[in-house]
Structure 1
């Protein structure tokens, strides 16, 4: 009895239950590699996405113009974040976290292989030139694959992070370290994926998409083989009464009918019965998201039953989410505008070998792996000396650094407009400054949202954070269609367009610095 009590106390002191590995639950390694391969599949495909859409049909691409390609890219990256909301809902009420991760991974892999299907059929056909039927299949499989990846990511992405949290006891001092390890897996996947997938895409675009799917398959295999390390975590509680059983049955029916309706709409779209204009949908979507977000905050403030102090904090969340959406609308141009700049206006020749454009997409993840520990140590060092900036000031730093990054691109665009090819260092310095901005703003935004949100609205406030990221991604895609230098006239206008982004980003950062003091008063005792 005494020995069992001592063992129990030891488990509590460790901050988690069960066997360990390197001082953390063994389940952390299962989730680390699952997320690493999921991010491998996402960032690998993301590095190819807009390049494939804008490449001429004769060269194996889809031949879309920049505006259409940017709109599709924005809608896709927006969808990944928006579907995290219903993905979390399904996990909490119908599937459980572990099953959601498993099924999400399967759907993601199916999406990648669907995108790679025309390439597989072409290889089976002996690599002959694509027929019109195969070209039509290319477009259909591309869009169907994107939809599957969005759905699968919506199921997997929010729920795998929740399982990481469940591995540790409440208040465990090791929880933050565990998440730091977990996020390192994200960036390892984000670093190697563009290099591997872009290399295969040099042979055939569809091989690149297939390589991304193969990464997800590896993640699923190791997730299944090591799932025993997650025993008792992420499972859906069994219904305890007839009423709960009936309620769950109704939810299953509602979900099934929703899937059927969506499938019918998609079928009609692919048959041409419902005509889709991506640019128009993108333009309408960001307005709808803005109205929905404003209506939500107005409703919460007026009818949410909040105290005066809680209303002030919700107001701060609304203000910072606006600045956050602005940041992501610039930062997420990495996969669109800046990717096209690497393809069209960057000198990528090294000793007779041309660096694939997608390789530059690895820069952000590499810089995060290098500098994230330095930033963490910097905040701790400043905090010990009572010099750590407040959260709104860190937000402002993020926007200012974003502007500095685009200032670098202003000079790179001047080189391109003069008719010369820009050196790769321009892009690398841009990604470096943008990474510094991300490290200043992104972790702070997540943490501050949880601290300021009223208890009864915490989940919804996190949903609003993801909504702001989704909005930023969508706007980034729209901007890409205007600032990518598709024509000679557009190339001449590029420096001015980048300077406009600089002025907006820096202006927003300076404005936030100016209003930091009143924001701090609204925050109360939260830093």
Structure 2
């Protein structure tokens, strides 16, 4: 019966791939639309002035307070998927995990559209929990779909991630425009509407997927365990967690989460969970330092119990994970300090010829990709309307809504004599540049010019740092009240994206290549922990933009993210011979 359903599933195709891939494409697209549409507003909203009775009234927080809350939120987004993946694998299956996660996120967005601090906190909590269920299991469904067709998997993931970037692009553009031109809660509300519609679109598509993504049966669990045992490297001996390992992991988890929650609580609510000092260290700093020491102890003690080849390859993954912290610490300024920089320090006012040129470019950026994606929707509808009519009807509603909002936005801008570009518009550049350059970069990796992993990492860090160097140069010597040309921010996002294309896709690929099959879930967890730490550091340091600018200069602030990644990039490139040796032939 399962074989018949899989065969039916692969009978309906769009652009050479199963129609189910494009259902996932649009589910992910609407989720990313909502996620990035909300994210691009958060720091701006929190730090905007309080204006009683105005739809543009923010909370009036300083950058440090806003960074503390956003940093903890961003950190938790990379930790909860570890648990969501485990729950789906063992109990509820991937499809139900995606639906549950999407529904919880819908409630979160709805909560954030309401007035009141408590609704914002509830909304962020729901987004963290919902993402934990949603994020890991979309890719798990995709992997299960293509497990018998590995040769098509790379192409499928490329299409899937185009959906990620398309959603981010339109979410930041349209939610940001509504929030900044009509009112904050319109932007937050729009994110929630499309999260709900995306959930319905996925739920009604059940007939297309058959049994794919259903909870695993006892026989399937047994078969997976048997396959994992048979594929085990003969040189790889089991290394179960000891009771000491488990206790120390529990302690470091409590300390780490305590630090994550205490940071915003102490800076915003004057509630300190670590209200003590140990020598020169504040309680919060001592707690995270102790957690780091315990983490290193557990990692090192476990590494000593592996065979040499496995141990060396895991050390290589840990080194890569360490350097990825520096990348995300800098790259994720796009969600914090660069939002404040774009709002307060960039000249965004246009009129006359410059406004006309911008409107033409913006119209092209909006209409062309939307037309292409609409064409894909039409092809998908043609293939699947008879099998899943409701999912296609919901999809039509989504696109009618998107076209309506986009055309309304363009009409408003074309009929205005002068206009101020929204702060959120600059954030769409990352997604646009990914779509524009991803295929070119991937062709380089497939050619004779393909560099070793350590060199890709180093290049990613250095190229991304050049973007911050341009911002440091562009803002050098400017006086208070003088604003920077927007060209510097546009160029910065270009280099940030090129750096991301060098480094980001490589990481998870090497984890899967270097780590034994039975350890992949654990090491993916460690990898996401590194990204979580990078996100938290990004928000902490980004929250200092006002203090550093006041004490030194805006240029000095951007030099931090120029010098540190360049040094890290040079070091990781220098480690290339060592990394090759540790990887034992894995390329």
Give the TM-score, by structure 2 length: 0.74
For the pair 1:421 / 2:483, whether they are aligned, the reply is yes
1:481 corresponds to which of 543, 560, 566:
543
For the pair 1:109 / 2:106, whether they are aligned, the reply is yes
Q: Which residue of 2 aligns with 1:308?
A: 308
Paired with 2:572 and 2:299, the residues of 1 have a C-alpha distance of 20
For the pair 1:371 / 2:364, whether they are aligned, the reply is no
Which digits, 9 at most, give the CA deviation of each residue in 1:90-116, with x for residues without a partner?
A: 111222110010010111111011011
Paired with 1:32 and 1:173, the residues of 2 have a C-alpha distance of 19
Map 1:74-113 to 2 at 5 A.
Answer: 74-113=71-110
Which digits, 9 at most, give the CA deviation of each residue in 1:214-273, with x for residues without a partner?
A: 1111211211222222211111124579xxxxxxxxxxxxxxxxxxxx9xxx9xx9xx99
1:50 corresponds to which of 43, 47, 51:
43
CA RMSD of aligned residues (A): 2.8
Distance verdict in 2 for CA 1:286–1:472, change over 3 Å: farther
Paired with 1:317 and 1:307, the residues of 2 have a C-alpha distance of 16
Distance verdict in 2 for CA 1:73–1:84, change over 3 Å: same
Paired with 2:78 and 2:500, the residues of 1 have a C-alpha distance of 17
Paired with 2:272 and 2:427, the residues of 1 have a C-alpha distance of 30
Q: Does the aligned pair in 1 maintain the 2:325–2:530 contact within 8 Å?
A: yes
Paired with 2:548 and 2:578, the residues of 1 have a C-alpha distance of 46
Map 1:222-261 to 2 at 5 A.
Answer: 222-239=201-218
Distance verdict in 2 for CA 1:273–1:365, change over 3 Å: closer
Paired with 1:161 and 1:286, the residues of 2 have a C-alpha distance of 32
The alpha carbon displacement at 1:195 in A equals 1.1
Q: Which residue of 2 aligns with 1:328?
A: 328
Q: Which residue of 1 aligns with 2:16?
A: 23
* Equivalent position SS for 2:441: helix
2:427 corresponds to which of 361, 382, 386:
361
Which consecutive unaligned segments of at least 5 residues does structure 2 have? 221-256, 276-281, 352-417
Which digits, 9 at most, give the CA deviation of each residue in 1:316-358, with x for residues without a partner?
A: 1111100011101100110101111001000111212001101
Paired with 2:34 and 2:289, the residues of 1 have a C-alpha distance of 30
Query: Number of residue pairs matched?
Result: 463
Map 1:20-419 to 2 at 5 A.
Answer: 20-58=13-51, 60-118=57-115, 138-170=116-148, 172-202=150-180, 203-239=182-218, 275=271, 287=289, 290-291=292-293, 293-303=295-305, 306-351=306-351, 352-382=418-448, 387-414=449-476, 416-417=478-479, 419=481
Q: Does the aligned pair in 1 maintain the 2:458–2:570 contact within 8 Å?
A: yes
* Equivalent position SS for 1:60: coil
Paired with 2:67 and 2:451, the residues of 1 have a C-alpha distance of 36
Distance verdict in 2 for CA 1:417–1:83, change over 3 Å: farther
Paired with 2:468 and 2:290, the residues of 1 have a C-alpha distance of 28
The alpha carbon displacement at 1:524 in A equals 1.1
Distance verdict in 2 for CA 1:451–1:488, change over 3 Å: closer
Q: Does the aligned pair in 2 maintain the 1:68–1:278 contact within 8 Å?
A: no
Which digits, 9 at most, give the CA deviation of each residue in 1:394-434, with x for residues without a partner?
A: 00101111211110111133254464211111111111111
Paired with 1:438 and 1:354, the residues of 2 have a C-alpha distance of 29
Paired with 2:294 and 2:346, the residues of 1 have a C-alpha distance of 40
* Equivalent position SS for 1:394: helix
The alpha carbon displacement at 1:24 in A equals 1.2
Distance verdict in 2 for CA 1:506–1:355, change over 3 Å: same
The alpha carbon displacement at 1:184 in A equals 0.2
The alpha carbon displacement at 1:37 in A equals 0.5
Distance verdict in 2 for CA 1:21–1:287, change over 3 Å: farther
Paired with 2:465 and 2:296, the residues of 1 have a C-alpha distance of 26
Q: Which residue of 2 aligns with 1:512?
A: 572
Paired with 2:173 and 2:336, the residues of 1 have a C-alpha distance of 17
The alpha carbon displacement at 1:496 in A equals 1.7
Q: Which residue of 2 aligns with 1:257?
A: none
Paired with 1:503 and 1:292, the residues of 2 have a C-alpha distance of 30
Q: Which residue of 1 aligns with 2:381?
A: none
2:584 corresponds to which of 516, 524, 527:
524
Q: Which residue of 2 aligns with 1:501?
A: 561
The alpha carbon displacement at 1:453 in A equals 0.9
Paired with 1:92 and 1:488, the residues of 2 have a C-alpha distance of 48
Distance verdict in 2 for CA 1:299–1:485, change over 3 Å: same
Q: Which residue of 2 aligns with 1:469?
A: 531
The alpha carbon displacement at 1:19 in A equals 3.2
Distance verdict in 2 for CA 1:404–1:288, change over 3 Å: farther
Distance verdict in 2 for CA 1:75–1:183, change over 3 Å: same
Distance verdict in 2 for CA 1:185–1:488, change over 3 Å: closer
Q: Does the aligned pair in 1 maintain the 2:548–2:557 contact within 8 Å?
A: no
